């Protein structure tokens, strides 16, 4: 493992969103904007990725450019992290591999767009979930991705002892949409209240999710998203898309169907989450 800095106010950023979640050139733009948002909050961004077999906690801008433009990057989750190291792969780490590595590097806070969860077929469960169930880390996100079975994902989190805290919201957001009708476990209005909850939870050994809706100017309405999603899910089934290809395929199809609007929403929510994570990390580092 290569750790770039030991600065206490670090925020880990996953990189599967760079290699598999967003099209070029918005992927590079997203990564840079997230880093800027974290620095503006007086914290230090650490993009987590695997470069030629080395798990990296923090990468240089040259390395980021290379990763964002890599012709065939791997999607690295927990099941293939060790293989990626042994076989010298280069790739983006999902929330699962990122949380695992960040925790080992002593980082308490990470940011992403939407976590993985229980897929709608009910059989495919993202390794993000079991990893969060055994990793004490504070994850700032906009809920789970709307392509998933959100009620089942919410139940899974509850079963496995992962609290969901709404930041200025009482509902679980659905990534591109602000509301899902699913409740959060607690709502807080400011960063200090979040810190108090995290300090109470930390010793439990599981992650805590902090969720906030996508910025209002970019959010999709529920009926709008339902129509796009119905078509994308139907097409994915027809095309026989399975396993780890599912999430990237659906995100890319939604981007096409919405004329690029979902990409703008994704960018906006990633930056907002990075900013909040930066504020949390900065505050935690002074305690």
Q: Which is nearer to ligand PSU, 64 or 283 (CB)?
A: 64
Residue nearest to ligand PSU (CB): 113
Question: To the nearest whole angstrom, how small is the minimum distance from the Cβ of residue 134 to ligand PSU?
Answer: 16
29 a catalytic residue: no
Q: Which residues bind ligand PSU (CB under 6 A)?
A: 14, 16-17, 20-21, 77, 94-95, 112-114, 116, 126-128, 244, 247, 251, 266, 270
Question: What size, in residues, is the chain?
Answer: 287
Residue 190: alpha-carbon gap to chain centroid: 21
Question: To the nearest whole angstrom, how small is the minimum distance from the Cβ of residue 247 to ligand PSU?
Answer: 4
Q: In degrees rounded to 5, what are phi and psi of residue 49? A: -160, 165
Instruction: Collect all residues with Cβ–Cβ distance below 8 Å to 204 and sequence separation of at least 6.
Output: 136, 161
145 a catalytic residue: yes
What would the two tokens of residue 159 be? 């079963």
**Which residue, 75, 63, 69, 66, is CA-closest to 14?**
75
Question: To the nearest whole angstrom, how small is the minimum distance from the Cβ of residue 98 to Mn ion?
Answer: 16
Q: Which is nearer to Mn ion, 124 or 235 (CB)?
A: 124
Pick one of ligand PSU, Mn ion, none as the site partner of residue 91 (Cβ within 5 to 8 A by kind). Answer: none
Strands 10-13 and 44-51: parallel
Pick one of Mn ion, ligand PSU, none as the site partner of residue 143 (Cβ within 5 to 8 A by kind). Answer: none
What would the two tokens of residue 134 be? 């055994």
Binding to Mn ion (CB under 5 A): which residues in 119-158? 124
Q: Indicate left, alpha or beta for 175 from its phi (over 0: left) and psi (-120 to 50: alpha).
A: left
Give the residues lining the site for Mn ion (CB under 5 A): 124
Q: Looking at the annotation, which residues are catalytic?
A: 14, 145
């Amino acid at each position: 493992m290569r750790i770039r800095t030991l600065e206490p106010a670090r925020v880990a950023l996953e990189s599967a969103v760079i290699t598999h979640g967003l099209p070029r050139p918005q992927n590079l733009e997203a990564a840079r904007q997230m880093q800027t948002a974290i620095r503006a909050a007086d914290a230090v961004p650490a993009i987590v990725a695997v470069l030629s077999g080395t798990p990296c906690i923090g990468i240089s801008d040259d390395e980021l450019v290379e990763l964002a433009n890599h012709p065939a990057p791997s999607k690295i989750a927990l099941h293939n992290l060790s293989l990626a190291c042994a076989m010298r792969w280069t790739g983006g780490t999902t929330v699962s591999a990122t949380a695992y590595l960040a925790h080992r590097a002593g980082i308490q806070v990470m940011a992403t767009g939407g976590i993985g969860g229980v897929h709608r077929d009910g059989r495919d469960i993202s390794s993000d979930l079991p990893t969060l169930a055994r990793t004490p880390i504070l994850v700032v996100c906009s809920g789970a991705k709307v392509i998933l079975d959100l009620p089942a994902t919410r139940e899974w989190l509850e079963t496995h002892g992962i609290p969901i805290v709404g930041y200025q919201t009482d509902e679980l957001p659905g990534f591109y949409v602000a509301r899902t009708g699913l409740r959060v476990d607690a709502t807080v209005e400011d960063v200090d209240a979040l810190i108090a909850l995290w300090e109470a939870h930390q010793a439990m050994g599981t992650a805590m999710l902090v969720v906030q809706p996508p910025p209002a100017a970019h959010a999709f309405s529920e009926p709008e998203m339902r129509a796009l999603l119905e078509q994308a899910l139907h097409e994915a089934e027809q095309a026989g898309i399975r396993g780890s290809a599912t999430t990237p395929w659906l995100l890319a199809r939604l981007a096409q169907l919405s004329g690029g609007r979902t990409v703008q929403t994704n960018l906006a929510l990633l930056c907002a989450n990075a900013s909040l994570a930066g504020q949390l990390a900065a505050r935690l580092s002074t305690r």
